[in-house]
Chain A
Amino acid sequence: MEHSPPPFFKTGPTPLARLLIFSALSAAVLVADARFDYLSVLRQVAAVIVYPIQRVAAAPASIMRRAAEFFVTHSSLRADNARLAGENLANAASLQQLMALQAENRRLRELLAARERLEVKPVAAEVLYAARDPFSRKIVVDKGSQHDIRAGQPVIDQAGVIGQVTRVYPWLSEITLITDKGQFVPVQNLRNGLRAVLAGTGGDGALDLRFIPLNADYQNGDRLVTSGIDGVYPPGLPVARVSNVERSAAQLFARVTCTPLAGVASYAHVLIVQGSRELPARPADEDRPARSKRAKKG
């Protein structure tokens, strides 16, 4: 500033000085958050301040949805009811079988002295909004640490896995979708039991299977379920269907593209699966415990 004010006007530090102070502060916060994860308390405090504004901003959409639910026609309600009754009947049969199978499974596992499989206890949550960030695929739902949501819990809808809780605030939590770049789901091919890692691409409705050998047995239409070897997703949840397999001799790995089974980009309600599986302790030479934390960040 070439025109500095006369000394009898007290204006505090010059804009340039303030710019440097606040930029340094921002840079410090950035580094502290990106590298060391120190700022969870500050983030929680800011989240509590923003929470009312977030709720107010999400209110119109949720009111519209409820109003639309109120004005459904009689015929569509009846059609829905008939369809659900049919589904219920079909499900009842398999549910009865499931109970018998669970009992049998428990006995067999006792015989084998194997660990119990997780019994999932889902909590329904309403999606408030998709994060307004073109760089990542995240949604924010209306259940948080006050409802016993913890970071790392898997999130599903009626068709399959949607993603994983990555950050928890008192009354909200943030879910990173499986389509986010940097989200990985360990999966298993339902047809032949091949294990693989499914990676998000950052685009809606497209997932990639990574590091698949050229001769691996994958076909279009194969269904992939979680294998459960990561300890995050319980085993057996449907995730995706193989939509395209490309094998070219010029490349080291086959290109396997999949589409998610769950409505990853369209939903109003999701289920957060609670209850963590107790995995056996990792081997002692576990060298990089920070790795999993880094991978969860957007």
Chain B
Amino acid sequence: MEARAMPQEILLPVKPGFIFFTLIAALLLNLLPWSGVWLWIKPDFVALVVLYWCIDQPRRIGFSAAWLLGLFMDVADGTLFGQHALAYTILAYAGIVLNRRVRMFAMTPQVLHVIPLLLANDLIVLAIRALAGADFPGFQYFLGSFVAGALWPVVAVLLKLPQRPRPDPDHVG
């Protein structure tokens, strides 16, 4: 696959309040009462948004936010304390280390980078659950990460919106 560089555009600096807002919104989406089939195809929004900000703004957002959000997810799901924290920490590390590389690619190769990272995130949670004595829940457990990968372009566009400079009404051209 020919990897074309994303056209670079000059963006406004991101507001910390906006990052905070998107993380809370992701937590909210994760806490919606999903059930049945929806539960299987539900992407992990927190993982997706944390990964996005780690790739896009590695100086602003990083391990502490990922770790705290992981703790909140563990409390809300009533699972063993620390499993999501560990998974999100490793995800944040991957995002921060790979940020320059991933940002160079166009959207499709970016998605191909993101899906394995989210799958690794799932695998870590699965490994901790297996150590604690749970059964393998079936391969549909990994479906959510592919859905999240498909959502990546949408997330990337949405979260960049407030950074786009306003079109200048006096500009002629």
Q: Hey, which chain B residues are within 8 Å of A56, CB to CB?
A: 28
Selected contact of B42 from candidates A19, A42, A132, CB within 8 Å: A132
Q: Which residues of chain B from 51 to 82 have any CB-CB distance to chain A below 8 Å in the complex?
A: 62-64, 66-67, 70-72, 74-82
Given contact pairs A22-B63, A60-B32, A181-B135, A133 touches B77 in the complex (Cβ within 8 A): yes
Q: Hey, which chain B residues are within 8 Å of A136, CB to CB?
A: 78-79, 134
Name the CB-closest residue of B to A42: B81
Chain A CB within 8 A of B129 CB: yes
Q: How far is the CA of A27 from the CA of B64 in the complex (A)?
A: 15
Q: Hey, which chain B residues are within 8 Å of A30, CB to CB?
A: 80-83, 86, 128
Given contact pairs A131-B78, A132-B77, A174-B78, A15 touches B97 in the complex (Cβ within 8 A): yes
**Are A19 and B81 interface neighbours, CB within 8 A?**
no
Chain A CB within 8 A of B132 CB: yes
User: What total count of A-B pairs have CB within 8 Å?
Assistant: 129
Given contact pairs A22-B89, A132-B42, A33 touches B81 in the complex (Cβ within 8 A): yes
Q: How far is the CA of A28 from the CA of B89 in the complex (A)?
A: 14
Q: Hey, which chain A residues are within 8 Å of B90, CB to CB?
A: 19, 23
Q: Hey, which chain A residues are within 8 Å of B76, CB to CB?
A: 50, 53-54
**Are A23 and B86 interface neighbours, CB within 8 A?**
yes
**Are B86 and A26 interface neighbours, CB within 8 A?**
yes
Q: Hey, which chain A residues are within 8 Å of B70, CB to CB?
A: 26
Q: Hey, which chain A residues are within 8 Å of B31, CB to CB?
A: 50, 53-54, 57-58, 129, 132
Q: How far is the CA of A44 from the CA of B46 in the complex (A)?
A: 21
Chain A CB within 8 A of B40 CB: yes
Chain A CB within 8 A of B156 CB: no
Q: How far is the CA of A49 from the CA of B34 in the complex (A)?
A: 21
Selected contact of A1 from candidates B63, B71, B85, B97, CB within 8 Å: B97
New A-B contacts (9) at CB < 8 Å, excluding given A134-B137, A202-B135: A1-B97, A29-B71, A30-B82, A43-B75, A54-B76, A133-B77, A134-B40, A136-B78, A138-B78
Interface residues of A (CB under 8 A from B): 1, 15-16, 18-19, 21-23, 25-30, 32-34, 39, 42-43, 46-47, 49-50, 53-54, 56-58, 60-61, 128-136, 138, 140, 166-167, 174, 181-182, 202, 297-298
Give 7 nearest A-B pairs by CB, closest first.
A29-B82, A26-B86, A129-B33, A57-B31, A33-B81, A30-B82, A19-B93
